[in-house]
Amino acid sequence: MKQHFLVLLLSIGSLRLFSQAPPAADSSDSKTLKEIVIKAYEQNRTLSEVAAPVVITGPSQLNRFSNMSILPALNINPGVSMEERSPGSYRLNIRGSSLRSPFGVRDVKIYLDDIPLTDPSGNTYLNQISFYNVQSAEIIKGPAGSLYGASLGGAMLIHTQPRQFDQGIDLDYSLGSYVTNNLHADIRFGSDDRQNDLGFTHQSSNGYRQQTQMHRDIGTWATTLKSSDKQELKAYFSYGSLYYQTPGGLTKAQYDSNATQARPGSIAAQAAIFQKNFLIGFTNIYHITDKWQNSTTVYGTYTDFINPGLRVYEYRKEPHFGGRSEFQYKDQFGELQFQFNAGVEYQKGFFNTRDYGNKQGVADSLETDNNINLWQYMIFSQVDLRYKGWVLTLGGSLNKSSVEFINLYTLPASPSTIQTRTFENKLPPHIGLLRKLTETLSAYINIARGFSTPTTAEMLSSDGMFGTNLQPEDGMDYELGFRGSLLHDRLYFDFSGFLSHLHNTIVQRIDTNGVYYYVNAGSTKQNGIEVYISYQLVEQSIGPINSAKLFLSYAYHDFHYSSFEQLNADYSGNKMPGVAPHTVVAGLDLYFLQNFYFNATYNYSASIDLNDANTVIASPFQLFGARIGYRKPLSKKFRMEFFAGADNLFNVKYSLGNDFNAAAGRYYNAAPGRNLYAGIILKDLFIKSTPHS
């Protein structure tokens, strides 16, 4: 397959020989990534003016793949890895953070617009977000505690609405391998001052392994009311119903003999997830004066979670509420621009978890019954100074959280059945300094301290035992980065190198009974280099080609245990499991004068160690994918699009979303083989000019 990739690169390079036309303005990534204004750290600046490792996934990345998931688009970003363990089950890894996430999303703080999507337990149900709910996503890599709370993995800011509001109706339908169906409808109505957006998405699939069926329905309503030039009120409602089966990990022998099989016992236990989630949030933005502004969000959410698993039949009720209020002050003193942000965020949860025996997929006798009361708050502040090409950012936050665990199965409750853990962090600083070298080039240094408390799922092992010894992670991250564009903005690059040293690193264990639990692994050293480059090969029409662009994303991660002794084993110096030392994503985008387009993508991952002893690995793999399409404008606004594509074009066998330190050798989760898809998009049906109030 390396030969295929070389042929692709040579073909791309040959296009440049015919590209001698002068540069012209277009919407290619080399320009978009440089000029787009991002919200991260509340700075509302272009990437070239942000002194932090921030990347963005926008429409041009999202629309290169099928409309099933945001996963492949996020994975274009170096240092970011989103994995699918089975349809509907996702894991998000930012610079090795999946070591704490056997499933789901942990150690990454995620916001949906201004609403904290991460609950007070530290968990995020990212699978309750549809592909169509994401207009763009900003990812902060590494500690982001100055504004986004205690976490070492980073933060992700999801934006659900486009920058420009237009009335109309969008209809999308696509189908694919494994009896996959995807339907979406979106209705936008109102005016600039009274915007409404109603969306509905239905997805279903039989899956690529035994016991991997999935169906998901998500309905949303986003509305914005601009009551005056000073005030704006936003509301967001969503309801999601998700069901997906869980096939379980395989041993190497099982994986080699039949990678599509489920773990023995999974089918008999009817192992699956039944998940319903309701979210309601309100945000008020008020411009107090020309210099002062306040943004306040309040929200509530309820999750109903049922999991018949191999060992237990679990029921979880997870209501929680919270809010965030932030003040911003801006002023200018001669050539010095000054910005100050300060605020508070609070979350409160009342969870109940019950475990029953699982008898052929039916809940049997009660084994555990626990109430989990959680609260956490964060007080944060940040100062930004801009002066003659220099940008200085200073920030920090105070975080406090508490977990009260009440064992209801032993009644009456006694002090021994009520346990409480409270965590307070030292003030984690964030210091960023950027220098604009030219109008299009900048360099920055970023120093941040991270503090990450154990999540409730990490303190509460899967057999219902509450851990009292697990300690928070603590670490420092040092970063050097360069961003900018060259060759009349045709070449865009984003380079960063980082040194990160962590203490009390939290790692997962699985015992012989399949019970998940967590321990602190001493100290780790996590160093790396991450590079993104895009080059506009063709900017003006040449023959049938209207535009051609190439991009390359590369990450080198050298993650080791510095000191880690577990019982009689010494893993000091070993590679941390779950992290590929080398990953590559490359792509070619061609747009033709006849409204056709072609996107090709190459993915490479080096081998991944799956246990602390470094004795088990997941093999390296190379993947190719492509999408072709045709866009036909049928009127001034209305557009029809047909597309078709393939993922894993050469039907490579590989394992993704692996289990780490798994008992009985059940490390492997087979990923899908060659899979095809096709679809149709009707964009801006019945659209008319948005009335202005």
Q: What is the pLDDT of residues 629-650, one digit of tens each?
A: 999 888 777 889 999 999 999 9
* Cα dihedral 75/77/80/83 (nearest 10): 0
The reported pLDDT for the residue numbered 492 is: 94
Are residues 354 and 312 in contact, defined by beta-carbon separation less than 8 angstroms?
no
User: What gap in Å lies between CA 54 and CA 59, rounded to an integer?
Assistant: 17
The reported pLDDT for the residue numbered 13 is: 40
Q: What are the pLDDT digits (tens) for 334-373?
A: 999 999 999 999 999 999 999 999 999 999 999 989 999 9
The reported pLDDT for the residue numbered 344 is: 96
Are residues 218 and 130 in contact, defined by beta-carbon separation less than 8 angstroms?
yes
Percent of the residues in the chain that have a pLDDT greater than 90, as a whole number: 63
Residue 5 has pLDDT above 60, yes or no: no
The reported pLDDT for the residue numbered 414 is: 59
Tokens of 75: 């994975």
Tokens of 637: 């606004």
Are residues 381 and 341 in contact, defined by beta-carbon separation less than 8 angstroms?
yes
The reported pLDDT for the residue numbered 41 is: 85
User: What gap in Å lies between CA 99 and CA 458, rounded to an integer?
Assistant: 12
Are residues 403 and 421 in contact, defined by beta-carbon separation less than 8 angstroms?
yes
The reported pLDDT for the residue numbered 162 is: 85
User: What gap in Å lies between CA 377 and CA 662, rounded to an integer?
Assistant: 35
User: What gap in Å lies between CA 417 and CA 480, rounded to an integer?
Assistant: 49
Residue 30: pLDDT band by 50, 70, 90 thresholds? Answer: very low
User: What gap in Å lies between CA 119 and CA 300, rounded to an integer?
Assistant: 10
Q: What letters, b where the CB count within 10 A reaches 16 and e where it falls short, cover 669-687? A: bbbbbebebbbebbbbbeb
Number of structural domains (the chain) is 1
Tokens of 201: 């998405």
415: helix, strand or coil: helix
Of the two residues 559 and 463, the one the predictor is more confident about is 559
Tokens of 250: 């395989």
User: What gap in Å lies between CA 309 and CA 269, rounded to an integer?
Assistant: 7
| Strand 194-205 with 180-190, pairing | antiparallel
DSSP H/E element including 634: none
User: Could you tell me if residue 693 is inside a domain?
Assistant: no
Cβ neighbours of 595 (radius 10 Å)? 14
Least Cα distance to 254 among 243, 270, 265, 269 occurs for: 265
Residue 15: pLDDT band by 50, 70, 90 thresholds? Answer: very low
Give DSSP secondary structure letters for 215-279: EEEEEEEEEEEE-SSSEEEEEEEEEEEEEEE----B-HHHHHH-TTSPPTTTTTTT-EEEEEEEE
The reported pLDDT for the residue numbered 8 is: 38
Q: What letters, b where the CB count within 10 A reaches 16 and e where it falls short, cover 509-531? A: bbeeebbbbbbbbbbbbbebbbb
Q: Output the CA–CA distances (angstroms, integers) from residue 362 to 248, 266, 273, 352, in the order listed.
A: 18, 13, 13, 20
User: What gap in Å lies between CA 342 and CA 396, rounded to an integer?
Assistant: 10
Phi (first) and psi of residue 117, to 5 degrees: -85, -25
Average pLDDT, the chain: 87
Q: What CATH number has the domain bearing residue 583?
A: 2.40.170.20
The reported pLDDT for the residue numbered 689 is: 52
Residue 303 corresponds to which amino acid? T
Q: What are the pLDDT digits (tens) for 483-497?
A: 999 998 899 999 999
The residue written with tokens 């509001």 in the block is: 165
Least Cα distance to 670 among 686, 685, 656 occurs for: 656
Of the two residues 407 and 690, the one the predictor is more confident about is 407
User: Could you tell me if residue 504 is inside a domain?
Assistant: yes
User: Could you tell me if residue 692 is inside a domain?
Assistant: no
Q: What are the pLDDT digits (tens) for 420-461?
A: 888 887 677 889 999 999 989 999 999 998 888 887 777 776
Are residues 631 and 639 in contact, defined by beta-carbon separation less than 8 angstroms?
yes
The reported pLDDT for the residue numbered 469 is: 76
Tokens of 145: 């505690």
The reported pLDDT for the residue numbered 25 is: 32
**For residue 50, what are the domain limits?**
2-685
* Sequence-separated (6 or more) residues with CB below 8 Å from residue 289: none
Residue 407 has pLDDT above 90, yes or no: no
Of the two residues 166 and 521, the one the predictor is more confident about is 166
Tokens of 278: 């309701």
Residue 33: pLDDT band by 50, 70, 90 thresholds? Answer: low
Residue 45: pLDDT band by 50, 70, 90 thresholds? Answer: confident
Instruction: Please tell me which of 104-113, 142-151, 668-677 the model is most confident about, judged by mean pLDDT.
Output: 668-677
Residue 97: pLDDT band by 50, 70, 90 thresholds? Answer: low
Residue 22: pLDDT band by 50, 70, 90 thresholds? Answer: very low
Tokens of 13: 């390079």
As a residue count, the chain comes to 693
Report angle CA 406, 409, 412 to the nearest 5 degrees.
75
